[in-house]
Structure 1
């Protein structure tokens, strides 16, 4: 059953690469370009997933909830992770799919991320993680704290995100359409490999993948959804110890992301080995290591915490999400300075 993780990861990696779905870019655009289009797309993913997983919970297929809220770990880890992804050039999933495109800098960041996560989860950093995550509040979910049905929160989230997405879609429709080059492919091949994917369509696809992850993972004995940090740490631990029990559904998932992004990049002609300069190597190494530390302390990355945790309305998920966004803003100030917006990179491009 763990091979379903490889299959789903391949689909996820394909969608991430073709949709250019980068959470780091979404967070960075908020601070540098004052744009929320890609952040809204990320929230669409959360909203879609929330509908599906609470339906699965109601049907008894999965069981959602959180007993406690490790608030200190969520805040500290989220800030560190958000700061790190600016230097690493991508969050966990962004680093995986760019590694599949052939970016050596992303491979370096990915190695640092997996190594640091393994150190913090399985090695000498574990006591620090346990200490920070041991500071908890007794209520673990937003709906439990407020004393309301989770469906009330799902409805509120869907309504708010739907309105924001509609606003951005109207702005997209008013923009001049880019010149279309003559099509090299036809039919489904053109949609999959040639045409740019729309941000919101990609968000819906990823949300559906997030829903499917729960029953598939449960069937393989892993009671969770999408997750990147622990599987990445487990890969390192397996390479060191040879313990085959570490190779579970989650490990297959992240390996599938690499495979899927490689297939997408090769099919679209975007795969190319790109060797970074010395400064990029240093930033990728440091950013990757910090990313692993932050994700371990926070209890997850932008997927496990900010997407899956937020979709299930855990206090950890939403707190880590906010801390990651703030940490990205702090890093933007450090990297680009107070006048950084004048020299800032262009916002994440718009898919059509």
Structure 2
């Protein structure tokens, strides 16, 4: 029966990858964008999950158990976890599915996450985990506290989520249409975050009875299965090879399949800063999730659906950790980004210098160079020594005629958006910003920003596997 975990995980990985479903980004948007739009996607997961679990429990199909709330472990652990997911660039499930997209930084974070989780649960740090968790209360769930049926919480919560979903969908319909990649078949287009949320909630409902049938009385989970995966690999003990391990391996496989099929897979090697942050972030994720009793899936999706104290308080302090770390680390670069040739990392054959797209609006720039110019989205640029007028920002290359290039290749989410928002402030209305990037999440984040802030996307195209170029006209 554990093979059903692989199937559920594969479907979950596909949906998460196609929906760019990242709880880290949802929480981060609250602080960086002052927007709750994507967070409603998480509420949809919880609502669908809550209705399904309540129905299965009422029918006697599953019998969830509830841990006593351990305030110190949950609060401290959730904060550490929230802080860590900013450093690692994704939450637990996000790290698994982004590993399937070829991000080496996520591989590093995943390895240290697995190692620290195993150490906290059964290894050298297990005593610390036990000590932090020793202070328990008798609180389990809100329905138990008030002595009422869980439906008294499920129905109002589902109604509130439906209202918020409708509210933000109406807002979306009234703003300019979001730019999408041109000439792309429907099956390659990303899922709307709300659609992805509803599907993930449904997958979570299906997962519970399948997991229970395999002897694991729980639903979706990432932290313990990640530790068990490492323990099985290192010890060969088949007791660790369970439904949860199949689930997380399925997420990796499903994400890879989805990314490969849609041209969004490419090995992207992290630079030194990203790698160091991934090590620290992955370690903090493992420590924090082990203390808190779960990650953004175990606590943020499953325990919240059970209306447990652990789930909702953990989600709150994960958000606080995200907010603090975002304030510290998520800032525009103070200096211009090095080119890929200078860094030797995150290289791509479809970079600016190699792009050769032509149009009827080709503009030849005044250059002094020993090499012939090439074309960038209809703008001819020199690849050698160039003499152009100074750019309005040192992060930009002046392409002439009011066009400026921003190289965000290699930057992980949310830095392509952060840098774009920073440099566009230096441009005049009507000038164009040409952004090259290879962060999958930015294919949605940048167009969303343009529509919200009144900028026009004049061109948006793929430039190769997991490489894109978008041209933004400042409004």
- For Structure 1 versus Structure 2, the TM-score category normalised by the shorter chain is over 0.9
Post-superposition CA distance 1:52-73 (Å, at most 9, x none): 0110001111112415212221
Aligned to 1:233: 227
The residue that corresponds to 1:254 in the other structure is: 248
CA displacement at 1:239 relative to structure 2:
2.0
Deviation sequence 1:90-116 (CA, Å, 0-9, x none): 000111111000000000000010110
Aligned residue for 1:2?
Answer: 2
Using the TM superposition, give the Cα deviation of residue 163 of structure 1 relative to its aligned residue in structure 2, in angstroms.
1.1
The separation in 2 between residues aligned to 1:321 and 1:308, in whole angstroms, is 11
The 5 A counterparts of 1:72-83 are: 72-83=72-83
CA distance in 2, matches of 1:78, 1:329: 12
Whether the 8 Å contact between 2:101 and 2:266 is mirrored in structure 1 is yes
Against the structure 1 CA distance between its residues 60 and 184, is the aligned structure 2 distance closer, same or farther, given a 3 Å change threshold? same
Flag as ranges the 4+ runs of structure 1 deviating above 4 A.
179-184, 340-343, 345-348
**2:76 touches 2:292 (CA, 8 Å); kept in 1?**
yes
Structure 1: gaps of 5 or more residues: none
Greater fraction of residues in strand: 2
The 8 Å contact of residues 65 and 314 in structure 1, kept in 2 or not, is answered as no
Greater alpha carbon shift after TM alignment, 258-267 vs 139-148: 139-148
Q: Which runs of 5+ in 2 are unaligned?
A: 335-413, 422-441, 449-475
Structure having the larger proportion of residues in helix: 1
Following TM superposition, by how much is the alpha carbon of 1:182 offset from its aligned partner in structure 2, in angstroms? 5.3
Residue of structure 2 in register with 1:220 after alignment: 214
TM-score by length of structure 2 reads: 0.70
Q: In 2, distance between residues paired with 1:72 and 1:263?
A: 40
Q: Measure, in 1, the Cα distance between the counterparts of 2:226 and 2:9.
A: 13
Q: Name the SS for the 1:319 alignment partner.
A: helix
1:302 to 296, 309, 312: 296
* TM-score computed with the length of structure 1 as normaliser: 0.93
In 2, the alpha carbon distance for the partners of 1:180 and 1:38 equals 18
In 1, distance between residues paired with 2:145 and 2:260? 48
> d(CA) in 2 for partners of 1:315 and 1:215?
23
More deviation, 14-23/230-239: 230-239
2:103 aligned partner: 103
Q: Check 1:67–1:91 CA distance in 2 against 1; reply closer, same or farther (3 A cut).
A: closer
Counterparts of 2:67 and 2:297, CA distance in 1: 20
> 1:261 and 1:67 mapped to 2: Cα distance?
32
Of the two, which has the highest radius of gyration? Answer: 2
Task: Report the equivalent of 1:285.
Answer: 279
1:98 and 1:63 map into 2 onto residues whose CA distance is 33
CA distance in 2, matches of 1:306, 1:71: 16
- Quickly say closer, same or farther: Cα 1:211–1:277, change in 2 above 3 A: same
Moved more, 168-177 or 217-226: 168-177
CA distances 1:274-333 after superposition (whole Å, capped 9, x unpaired) = 011101100011100111000000111000011100001111111111110111011112
Q: How far apart are the structure 1 equivalents of 2:184 and 2:324?
A: 43
In structure 2, the partner of 1:332 is: 326
Q: Residue 317 of structure 1 aligns with which residue?
A: 311
How has the CA–CA distance of structure 1 residues 318 and 277 changed in structure 2, closer, same or farther, with 3 Å as cutoff? same
Larger deviation, residues 340-349 vs 42-51: 340-349
Q: What is the alpha-carbon distance in structure 1 between the residues aligned to residue 100 and residue 66 of structure 2?
A: 34
In the superposition, relative to structure 1, how do residues 293 and 183 fare at CA in structure 2: closer, same or farther (>3 Å)? Answer: same
> Which residue in 1 is equivalent to 2:23?
23
Corresponding residue for 2:194?
A: 200
1:98-147 Cα offsets, whole Å, 9 max, x none, are 10000000000000101100010110111111111121111201111123
Shift of 1:184: 4.8
1:163 aligned counterpart, secondary structure: helix
Higher relative contact order (CA 8 A, sep 6+): 1
Tell me the residue number matched to 2:169.
Answer: 169
Q: CA deviation at 1:156?
A: 1.4
Deviations 1:237-296 (A, max 9, x none): 112221111010000000000000000001111001101110110001110011100000
Alpha-carbon distance in 2 for matches of 1:247, 1:67: 24
1:101 aligns to what SS in structure 2?
Answer: coil
Q: Secondary structure at the match of 2:38?
A: helix
Deviates more, 1:130-139 or 1:99-108: 130-139
How far does residue 178 in structure 1 lie from its aligned partner after superposition?
A: 3.8
Closer, same or farther in 2 for the Cα pair 1:277/1:56, shift >3 Å? same
Question: For 1:180 and 1:293, how far apart are their aligned partners in 2?
Answer: 39
Stretch moving more, 311-320 or 143-152? 143-152
| 2:62 pairs with 1:68 | no
Q: RMSD of the TM alignment (CA)?
A: 2.1
